[in-house]
Structures are given as structure tokens and as C-alpha cells.
Structure 1
């Protein structure tokens, strides 16, 4: 089952995922911003080369276990524990945390895409990543996602394509 929605924001293709967690915004903030916790769910290793908390304009370095360099990006917004936005490979990743009345929080993750035809492929990838985040926050980490399409990724991809999410971009590792 897919949980993301395809939209356009200021003329750019975008994906939006919403998840509610029984954890405080501070706990989820750590999971989505701390490089030592990002390894449980984010598709690349993340490093902030400048010491201290990331600030707008600060560089971000991405890397992969299998083939090294994952490129660089920039911190766009850093407002703990509410908003964190960074760039990566022509995309902008926005994380918004809102407290819920029961003490939990809502995570809204929006990915502004560089190319429209990558939407289904990217949505399937973020589904896998967010499922890993769900598991990590539930105390049962499954490990970060790999680089090759899995059967679960293919199911998500096919679901997104069948609902009309733009597709057509090559699938790496396929």
C-alpha cells in the first residue's frame, strides 16, 4: 500500500508523505536529523562537515556504503524540533514536525523533485525509507535501505504507476 501523494508545488513535481507517531516531536526530530539515527532509514549516509548544529547555508555531504560519493547539498532550514529542509541531487527535502494533542507528533515529509518522470520511482524509494523509519521509531530497526530494487520496492512502484503518478525514469540497479 502506498502512503504518498503526488502534487506540484510552485510548478515543481513533489511527493508528500504524512506519518503520525506516538513519540514527542523532539524524539522524532532526533530520528530525522541526527546522522547517527539517519542510518536506520535514510538512503545515504549524511554528514554535516561544519561542527555544531546545521544552520541554513551549511553544507551536507551524502555517501553510500556500496559506491561512495552521494554528492553534496545544503541545509535550507533548521528550526528544531519543527522544520528541517535540505537539498540533495537537485531535490529539496522538507521535514515538518507538528505536535499532536496525545503527546505524539505528525511528520510531513515533502520531496520536491528535479524531474517529473522520477516521481513513481522516488515515491517507492521513500516508502521503503519511511517504513524503515517507522520500524526504528518502534524500537525494531531493520537497517537502512539498500541501493537495489527489492520486491517491496517493486510493489510500491507498481502501485504508484497504477494510480497515475508520473513515471518513465530509468530504475537504478534494475
Structure 2
């Protein structure tokens, strides 16, 4: 089975899903730590995360250095080290980890509340997963958002104009002088 590096967009009733797969050369426990530990999330996730990884616990996503307000979330499912699911604002993120390949097969399923942001978010989550993979491999990281501009046109072309009606949030910028 081929790994789905680029997001695949699917309609799910009134909602839309983006699905990605990555083969990561680390055991599930190491990938789990990268998904749940603040210092590791800071290497690849698009926001800071405050809260406890317990079902029903509230989360707060902060965007340091950006002119964006915090975004709420809620933990929906935790089955360490296999499944992590939570609300990220109005969207749902579900990470499934299985042993496979050279280590762990990660599947990310993003459920979107609206089609118009699918290309924007598709490129963003693609870049986040690239950063996660690079972080786990000990490679040189780049600033989050730095490669989004390269990926966005690919997602617009793949998903079509109806999936590209929502621009990045006002106040969103790529940090220029922050150390990586």
C-alpha cells in the first residue's frame, strides 16, 4: 500500500476530511512523544498547546509571535501510544499510529468544517507532517509556514477552486528572525 504523503480530500456527509499517511522510522512510543510532549510539539505543530492529554480535557492552542487569538480545543480520544484525537478549533485531528514499515505508520485524518479551507489547511498539515518527520529523523528544521507557499498551489490544483476560497487567517505570518 502506497503512503499518502499529499493529503487526500474526501466528502463525509456535510463535512470534509483530509487524510495523510507517513512511514516514520521510529517506534510508536517515540512518535507518540512527538505528538504529546510540549517541547517536541514546538518543533513541528503550528501552535503551542496548553492542557492535559485526557479524554474530555480542554486544550488551548496559542500562536506565539502571531497576531492571532488563542483557539479552543477538547481531547476526544487517547489510547497511548496508538490513537490521539482532539478538536483543534472547529476541526478534528485524529492521529492513528500502527507498527509498520521501518517503524511506525502514522495516519492523520483532519475533519474540516468547510470545504473552502481544504487547500489552505491541506498544505499546512502537509508541511507540519514534513516537519514532524524531519524532527524525528534529527534533520535540520525550518520555520513553520516557510514551505507552505510552495505547497499551497499544489493543493489548490488538486482540490479545485471551491476548496481554496478561504485565505490564511488575518495576522498569520511566517516568523523571520526566530531561531529554529
Using structure 2 for the length normalisation, give the TM-score: 0.83
Structure 2 counterparts to residues 31-50 of structure 1, below 5 A: 31-48=34-51, 50=52
Task: Give the count of matched residue pairs.
Answer: 164
Superimposed CA distance per residue, residues 61-118 of structure 1 (whole angstroms, 9 cap, x where no aligned partner): 111111363221100000000000010110000000011165x110001110111100
2:113 corresponds to: 114
Q: Distance in 2 between matches of 1:101 and 1:157?
A: 29
1:157 aligns with 2:156: no
**Structure 1 residues 76 and 144 mapped into 2: Cα distance closer, same or farther (>3 Å)?**
farther
1:55 corresponds to: 54
Q: Distance in 2 between matches of 1:97 and 1:132?
A: 17
> What secondary structure, in the 3-state scheme, does the structure 2 residue paired with 1:23 have?
coil
1:74 aligns with 2:74: yes
Q: Distance in 1 between matches of 2:101 and 2:23?
A: 12
- Structure 1 residue runs of 5 or longer lacking an equivalent are none
Superimposed CA distance per residue, residues 95-150 of structure 1 (whole angstroms, 9 cap, x where no aligned partner): 00011165x1100011101111000000011111111111100112515514xxx4
Q: Distance in 1 between matches of 2:127 and 2:21?
A: 14
Greater CA deviation, 123-132 or 63-72? 63-72
Using structure 1 for the length normalisation, give the TM-score: 0.86
Q: Distance in 2 between matches of 1:12 and 1:55?
A: 26
Q: CA deviation at 1:9?
A: 2.9
Q: Which of residues 1, 19, 22 is equivalent to 1:19?
A: 22
Q: Distance in 1 between matches of 2:56 and 2:11?
A: 25
**Structure 1 residues 157 and 62 mapped into 2: Cα distance closer, same or farther (>3 Å)?**
same
Q: Distance in 2 between matches of 1:46 and 1:143?
A: 20
> What secondary structure, in the 3-state scheme, does the structure 1 residue paired with 2:70 have?
strand
2:10 corresponds to: 7
Q: Distance in 1 between matches of 2:118 and 2:159?
A: 10
Q: Distance in 2 between matches of 1:24 and 1:10?
A: 35
2:167 corresponds to: 170
- Structure 2 residue runs of 5 or longer lacking an equivalent are 174-180
